[in-house]
Chains A and B, each alone.
Chain A
Amino acid sequence: MKKVLSVMATALLLVTFCGGMAAAKDFQVGFVYVSPIGDAGWSWAHDQGRKALDKMPGVKTSFVESVPEGQDAERVILNMARKGYRIIFATSYGYMDPMLKVAKKFPKTVFMHCSGFKTAKNMGNYFGRMYQARFLTGMVAGAMTKSNIIGYVAAFPIPEVIRGINAFALGVQSVNPKAQVRVVWTKTWYDPATEKEAAKSLLDVGADVLTQHQDSPATQEAAQEKGAYSIGYNSDMSKFAPKAHLVAAVWNWSPFYRYIVEQVEKGTWKAKAYWWGIDKGIVNISPMGPMVPQAVKDKVLAAKKDLISGKLKVFAGPVADQKGDTKIADGKVASDKELLGMTWFVKGVVGSTQ
């Protein structure tokens, strides 16, 4: 018995020692995900970015998945900080306050929080202007709809989702002012069966193009079965519905993650809000399907160019809400702060923000 114990103790020491060695040599980067990376959606997209970091020399990444927001998040982030991780990326809104708490205790570690608004001396936040890609996909939807009803399967009425719906609707209206966007809330980020039912109800009220702010491809499948069109989100979803898939609004986190690691390595990193747009490639649209006419493709790609150059702004006045009240005045462009706290729908969206 004694012998076993002493062997175990030695092994324990060895493990601790080796762990310490690795931490000293490598530039360790940690990721905290809210769902399993197997959801093929939000966390999966971030994990693609993480994998890109692994290819950088001297950088070693690791992640913890399915971390609930709240108590567990604080522990996971704290643990990474204790182990000497140089940068920690937390990829869900609810990680904001837990991360802030930990950041105060580890001034040398760089903390990056996704989709929030708080910063500290050593904590920045970041996000992508997905609404720009949404606008472009909206243009495709507006051009392809015949019934002038476009369905939007959405998860929760929070600003990020509402912003995407509004941008999408503005994109639709820029090519087809008569079309309306109908929103159905599923109140879940990820539940294929529920998402599909929601998608079907939209198809039934006459929608012939569907899009989604959900993590599963169920909406795409529903559209294909009914012979309607669909627009993907998170990643190119064309393999799930080749006949229906027009285009997708996609995340591409790799350039951003690489940039941050380089900045920290060089010592030029700043604790601020990084809100990258389509110009830096953090958001994009996937290649458009063969059913999209060339004229539409050209128009969308031209708009993309204008968005990149800054000539075109998505939330440029005049923009009215559902009741017709002016929310963004003529000649004005919504500020980032207004975008972050968006809780109203633009005119032409059918649905409630409750």
Chain B
Amino acid sequence: MAISLRIRKRQTPLKLQSGLVLAGALVLSLALSALLLKLQGKPAGQAMLVIFQGAFGSLWALEDSLIKAVPIFLCSLGVAVAFRLQIWNIGAEGQYALGAVGASWVALSFPSLPWYLLQPLMLAAASVTGGLWGLIPAVLKLRMRTNEIIVTLMLNYIAILFLDYLVYGPWKDPRSFGFPMTRQFDTAAVVSKIGESNLNWGILVCVAAGVIFWIFFRFTRYGYEIKAGGENIRAARYARIPYDYLVMLVMVLSGALAGWAGFLEVSATVNRLEPSIMVGYGYTAIVVAWLARLNPLFIGVASLLLAGLRVGVEQLQLDFQVPAAFGQIMEGLILLTVLAGGFFVNYRFYLGKKD
């Protein structure tokens, strides 16, 4: 009879200590990253400070990180709505693309409208196109029982090809010297900046979306039913929760939110539709939603941290000529250490006797 280390699932996951575990995980990942830099002969400690400084160290830096966090936040919020019902929507990338297309269509078709009509119309169009792109996999799932992971993934490719087709073909600006982009939107179609800062009013859309998300899940019947349905489909069906309807609802909401991100990107930051708006926010969103455990406030924090990391790494490149790939390494390490930390929150060790 030997004594060995055994593992058991905790009755209730750690609550208070989980914050500590998370902090420990983050510190560990930073230490590992620093070690890698040290091995390459770079001043590791200083480098870590530079990242922090570049991300949050000044008002400007904070502003930059906030701007970068906006599309990640909206896509992530969208993904989280679907995840709460255990619907694995990894199609935020395509829904974002379609939202951008919808908003651009309005901006290009009705240029003479005043901004207070045009911009809401663009937002509505982005919701419809993004939402529809989310509805397709939902309907296929319900009618044909196809796996939504694969369908949403394939729809991403199709959406991007469609966007490319538009900007290389019918929507190409005749004055762009043949480059794939639509003409620049009129000022009425551009979400304006807040005062003297670089932030645009889109940040308000984010706050509103986050608050509505919270209210929806906290106080409405549908919100409650989605949560219940996500925890146990069978029980939910017995309780006469309209599961099929909910699947369509979450996918439409999910797609619409990603669509909003697409709208803000073409309207506020790029001012036109072009292929370069596709930089993988939809995939980052999945990671963020998971890190934040589908909680809207945490999604905000996680989006800002991840955006900050990416902004900070640019600073690192400037100051120490570290390759851009270092940012990916840090992201990977953070994910893995947090993942490992999750284990300590949910399980506990004890010494037991081997039989």
Contacts and interface: CB of A to CB of B under 8 A. Distances in A.
Contacts of B57: 12, 16
A79 B315 contact: yes
Contact of B279 (A62, A70, A78, A159): A70
Given A157-B178, A159-B178, 5 more contacts: A65-B323, A79-B60, A80-B318, A83-B318, A97-B184
A11 B45 CA distance: 10
A341 B274 contact: no
A62 B178 contact: no
A75 B67 contact: yes
B68 interface: yes
A12 B184 CA distance: 42
A30 B318 contact: yes
A70 B318 contact: no
A69 interface: yes
Interface in B145-202: 164, 168-169, 177-180, 184, 198
A265 B315 CA distance: 25
Q: Secondary structure at chain B's binding surface: helix, strand, loop or mixed?
A: helix
Interface in A62-89: 62-72, 74-76, 78-80, 82-83
Contacts of B169: 354
Contacts of B269: 70-71, 74
A36 B57 CA distance: 26
Contacts of A83: 318
Nearest to A61: B321
B255 to A, nearest CB: 21
Contact of A158 (B179, B265, B272, B311): B179
Interface in B63-91: 64, 67-68
Interface stretch (B1-9, B12-20, B46-54, B101-109): B46-54
Interface residues of B, number: 40
A333 interface: no
Contacts of A303: none
A75 B274 contact: no
Contacts of B323: 36, 38, 65
Given A36-B324, A94-B276, A158-B179, A64 B318 contact: yes
Contact of A343 (B178, B315, B317): B178
Given A158-B178, A341-B177, A76 B49 contact: no
Contact of B317 (A63, A93, A341): A63
- Which of A19, A38, A79, A83 is the most central at the interface, judged by chain B CB atoms within 10 Å of its CB? A79
B235 interface: no
A351 to B, nearest CB: 15
Nearest to B269: A71
22 contacts: A12-B49, A12-B52, A15-B53, A19-B319, A36-B325, A62-B319, A62-B321, A64-B314, A64-B318, A65-B323, A68-B276, A72-B279, A75-B67, A75-B68, A94-B274, A117-B177, A156-B180, A157-B168, A159-B177, A187-B164, A340-B177, A341-B177
Contacts of A340: 177
Contacts of B318: 30, 62-64, 79-80, 83
Contacts of B274: 69-70, 94
A343 B168 CA distance: 12
Candidate in A11, A67, A69 with the most chain B CB atoms within 10 angstroms? A69
A45 interface: no
Interface in A99-143: 117
Contacts of B180: 156, 158
Interface residues of A, number: 43
B203 to A, nearest CB: 14
A90 B232 CA distance: 53
B277 interface: yes
Nearest to A105: B198
A15 B317 contact: no
A338 to B, nearest CB: 10
Contact of B324 (A11, A64, A74): A64
B329 interface: no
Interface string A26-50: 0000100000101000000000000
A74 B169 CA distance: 26
Nearest to B264: A71
Contacts of A65: 317, 323-324
B254 interface: no
A76 B68 contact: no
Contacts of B321: 62-63
A279 to B, nearest CB: 24
Contacts of B198: 78
A342 interface: yes
B64 A79 contact: yes
B324 A66 contact: yes
B29 interface: no
A62 B49 contact: no
Contacts of A93: 179
Given A19-B319, A64-B318, A341 B178 contact: yes
Interface string B313-355: 0110111010111000000000000000000000000000000
